[in-house]
Amino acid sequence: MKKKIIINGEFYCNNLTGIERVARDTIPVLDKLAAPGEIELVIPKNARNVPEVKNIALVKLDYELHSFPKWQQFVFQKYVRTHKGIPLDFCNATPYFCQGISYIHDIYCKLFPNDFPTKQDKKVRLYNCFMYKRIAKKSKKIIAVSEYTKKTIIDTYHISPEKIEVIYNGISPSYIETRPDENVFQKFPILKEKEFYFTLGSLSIRKNLKWIANHAALYPNEFFAISGKILENVIPEELESLKTAKNVIFLGYLSDSEVKAVMSKCKAFIFPSYFEGFGIPPLEALSCGARIIISDSTCLPEIYGDKAYYIHADEPDIDLDELLKKEVSSPKALLDELTVENAGKKLYNILKEYI
């Protein structure tokens, strides 16, 4: 018997990282595609910036989310079981006793245990690894965001490839329609057009700020601007040395409109991450007309092909001016393909098998 899909809306309480952005951007697409009664979106009492929905039923529970395991494993799970639905989770998690559909964006915590050295880090890692395994073994369907992520799940948990569907992430219309805010250059007058490299993302270990720190030391005439939020866990040691480097500036958190302005004026967007499940920031940079310099690690060559300039994540001694003299292909076809609308349609086609 087919059932309704019940979406775990915990991402409306989380900080807005790439995973949460994917989830939030997908909801309006699903709302346009779904028929009334097919999908519910269940959110905590303290959810923020929840969009209006027409065809998806919005259910706000009388519970404030402060502990994600408690919401996931008790409150949300109880609701799903009581209403006999199929849970859909966007954030690498699943209710333990409910077989459902879950995204696994990557299995970073499993593959890089040494990136979690502190006691608190280890707790985060253990819970995430627990969730990866449960999703792999018990979910009805797994959504991976790249073929690379799919392969790592199969190789690690020895499950059938048929259980996993790949849906690439995409750029949302709201990002495309956002107008660049040139006032950011008044806040940071040191940023001169085409005279700085820009990087963006959560300032975590895997984003490999170590590469920028080492490269900036080797090439003092190059200038780097860094934007992003420091996460509570997996803080890279390189932050302190970068803060004192004369050719590096931290911009802090920037709005999408400010990011677009900086993207469009940078010499190139640089993304030296040594591990990604997908990697959205380079796609956003391409949409702003920026050239992208990315590492040749994990999924990135799969996603960006011949549209990018490549570096090795552990080799900072490279002449970027020489690298940028090479020719790369136009990103137009890639930008046309990787949209939130296309990703949402693929997801809805999977959901229809169960609705």
Give the closest residue to 88 by CA, choosing from 25, 169, 8: 8
DSSP for 174-219, please give it: HHHHPPP-TTHHHH-TT--TTS-EEEES---GGG-HHHHHHHHHH-
Whole-number pLDDT of residue 182: 96
Please list the pLDDT of the chain residue by residue as tens digits (355 residues): 678 999 999 999 987 788 999 999 999 999 999 999 999 999 999 999 999 999 999 999 999 998 778 999 999 999 999 999 999 999 999 999 999 999 999 999 999 999 998 898 899 999 999 999 999 999 999 999 999 999 999 999 999 999 999 999 999 888 899 999 999 999 999 999 999 999 986 667 898 988 999 999 999 999 999 997 655 544 456 666 677 789 999 898 899 999 999 999 999 999 999 999 999 999 999 999 999 999 999 999 999 999 999 999 999 999 999 999 999 999 999 999 999 999 999 999 999 999 9
Whole-number pLDDT of residue 34: 97
Whole-number pLDDT of residue 233: 46
Which residues on adjacent β-strands are paired with residue 285? none
How far from 81 is each of 24, 57, 84, 96, CA to CA, in Å?
Answer: 24, 17, 5, 11
- Rounded CA-CA distance 283/28 in Å is 21
Q: Enter the tokens of residue 113.
A: 């245990």
Whole-number pLDDT of residue 153: 98
- Rounded CA-CA distance 23/91 in Å is 8
- Rounded CA-CA distance 100/84 in Å is 11
- Check the CA dihedral 5-10-12-15 and report its sign: negative
How far from 76 is each of 42, 82, 185, 250, CA to CA, in Å?
Answer: 8, 10, 44, 39
Give the closest residue to 153 by CA, choosing from 133, 139, 168: 133
Q: Enter the tokens of residue 347.
A: 């997801």
How far from 326 is each of 79, 222, 291, 297, 307, CA to CA, in Å?
Answer: 55, 19, 11, 20, 11
For residue 312, the SS3 value is coil
pTM, two decimals, is 0.92
- Rounded CA-CA distance 211/186 in Å is 28
For residue 1, the SS3 value is coil
Asked whether the beta carbons of 266 and 197 are under 8 A apart, the reply is yes
Tokens 């090439």, located at residue:
219
Whole-number pLDDT of residue 234: 41
Phi-psi region of 279 (alpha: psi -120 to 50; beta: other; left: phi over 0): left
Whole-number pLDDT of residue 235: 47
How many other C-beta atoms can be found within 10 angstroms of the C-beta atom of residue 275?
Answer: 24
- Rounded CA-CA distance 213/279 in Å is 21
The DSSP letter of residue 354 is: T
Cβ-based neighbours of 236, under 8 Å, separated by 6 or more: 203, 204, 205, 207, 209, 210
Q: What does residue 35 show for φ and ψ, rounded to 5 degrees?
A: -90, 150
Q: Enter the tokens of residue 351.
A: 């959901």
Whole-number pLDDT of residue 97: 95
How far from 351 is each of 3, 69, 126, CA to CA, in Å?
Answer: 10, 25, 29
Q: What does residue 16 show for φ and ψ, rounded to 5 degrees?
A: -85, 85
Which residues on adjacent β-strands are paired with residue 7? 41, 88
